[in-house]
Chains A and B, each alone.
Chain A
Amino acid sequence: MSLSSAVLDYLQAQPGVTFKRLYLQPPTVLAVLRRMLPHLAKNIIMAMLFMPEPFLEEDLLTWIRAEARPQRDEAMTVLEQLHILTLVPEPPTPRAYRLNTAFASSLRQALMGGGSTNSFGVPADKDAPGPKRTVEELDKWARKQWEAILYYMVGSAEREYSREGNISSGTRKLLEMGEFIIMRGGRADITKGGFTFLLQEANAQVWTLLIVYLENSESVSSIHTKSKVIENQSKDIEQLQMDPVEMLSFLFMLGSLELGQDYNTESLTKTQFHMLEDLHDFGIVYHPPDARGRFYPTRLATTLTSSDASLLSNPNSSLSMNSGKGSIILETNHRIYTYTSSPLQIAVLALFANLNSCYPNLVSGKLTKKSIQRAVEKGITADQIIDYLRTHAHPQMLKNQPVLPPTVVDQIRLWQIEGDRMEATPGFLLKQFVNANEYRETAQYAENLGVLVWRNDREHMFFVTRIEQLQQYLAKRKTQAPRR
């Protein structure tokens, strides 16, 4: 699961009113622009941002090359789904696109400055009481907290690494609600979702967990307060409704903050202040116990709105915490050597490799058909394994082109597909079209949207994963048809 698509899916499920409120915050708009839109969509927005008039549909169509039609359909779809762009069908004038007013004004505000929303965080006073934290300390804190969560999950798979007690009960509950673990007789068992989670990049992991957190915001808040009755104001909190819009805005704001800078909590809403506690547990922010009026975003927070590509290309900002630096050497004979002493990494490796010897700073093993297929059975995909190996490859391996020996990569894939006998795709079958023309154009539209899975031109039917837009499209066709 790509992480921006995870966030995108979550957002698309939100009602239109939510968007209206979300787009009032410049950091949210900035994050949505940066993370969730296709490249072409960004260009369209920028061209329209300072345009005094709505963008005529006709002009837009001439501006984008004819051969870029799939990209255009994709971009327009996302823009409409996120309520950024609306088509204004005013009968006397030609059809034109208009940017969402809240979105446009927030984006202009972000680019030009001004306003007084305090939306990019209020830095704490320099002479506020309490010691300052350095970036190193924050990194250490974030790593410790986040790894504790990962340890907990791995520990539930491989008993010997179990280190329960390190993470709060709220987090534990959250992992359970996200179906990363299942509680069986007081013991946590890692699920398929959990394995997928483990092999993701850190940034993707953070988002995946945060989305579970958002989806379950109400229940989480109640669970959390029960476990934290230490505070006097717990009564207050218990009645608190966690507002998803405020939560999302806060997360996006965190993404625009600066590492190493402490921020004032005064400008936060109640919901957001409460979130600080949970995010502190995850290691996303550091809320010093001795200075409650301030908080520090950690690297996990400030990279929330960076893209995965930039994390990969920039080793300094890399969040591959499980290893720090790449340490895996994979040979063409399927043998694998890893310079590590981290039980976490060893545990992750053991998910798909046969480890046979362990030295103080080195583990060695072998990728076998059995070990790979065992992983596949658990729901780990070959691509995840390959990605994991590649992102954690030893610097010496990086000199090869391609990084991993192709024979091994192919073999891993072959081992996986050996067991694959079928593919199941939930969705909708469309059939009984009035004529060939309607069938052909609708199918073409579905293909451009990227929802078409299978088509049968002889029988005039096809299968799609999503139907909402096709319904709109067909309705639109109907109204247009008599005119022809």
Chain B
Amino acid sequence: MVKAVKGILVQCDESIKAIIEKIDKENGNTFILEALDDENLLISSGKINELKARLKSVLTDTVKEHEEPESNSDNNEMR
């Protein structure tokens, strides 16, 4: 019998998947419904926004953006 599960498919690369799994583990396994393969996860519908927020904060903490020298136009922005 075919079974249908309602949820949100999250497609990401493996490193992000690892972070999501970590977030899931720290929060009592409430996010992930099913790990489909290395790059795909099924997330429960109501949790996606919270997950995005958490992922974002983890990323800003860990990934250091390379600061590129902006042109001087930044300084005299139109007022």
A residues apposed to B, CB below 8 Å: 350, 354-358, 363, 365-366, 368-370, 421-434, 438, 442, 453-454, 456, 459, 461, 463, 467, 474
Contact = CB atoms under 8 A, between A and B. Distances in A.
A442 B2 CA distance: 11
A428 B40 contact: no
Contact of A421 (B55, B68, B74): B55
11 contacts: A370-B70, A421-B12, A423-B10, A424-B52, A430-B4, A432-B2, A434-B2, A438-B2, A459-B37, A463-B9, A474-B2
Interface in B4-54: 4-13, 16, 20, 34, 36-37, 40, 42-43, 45, 48, 52
A66 B8 CA distance: 34
A354 B13 CA distance: 32
Given A368-B71, A423-B10, A432 B78 contact: no
Given A355-B78, A434-B2, A456-B36, 13 more contacts: A423-B10, A424-B8, A425-B10, A426-B7, A427-B6, A429-B34, A429-B36, A429-B42, A430-B2, A430-B3, A430-B5, A433-B2, A459-B36
Contact of B4 (A356, A421, A438, A467): A467
A424 B48 contact: yes
B77 interface: yes
Contacts of A432: 1-3
Interface of B: 1-13, 16, 20, 34, 36-37, 40, 42-43, 45, 48, 52, 55, 59, 68, 70-71, 73-74, 76-78
Contacts, number: 101
Contact of B10 (A356, A424, A461): A424
A368 B78 contact: no
Nearest to B13: A421
Given A356-B73, A454-B40, A428 B11 contact: no
A422 B20 CA distance: 10
B33 to A, nearest CB: 8
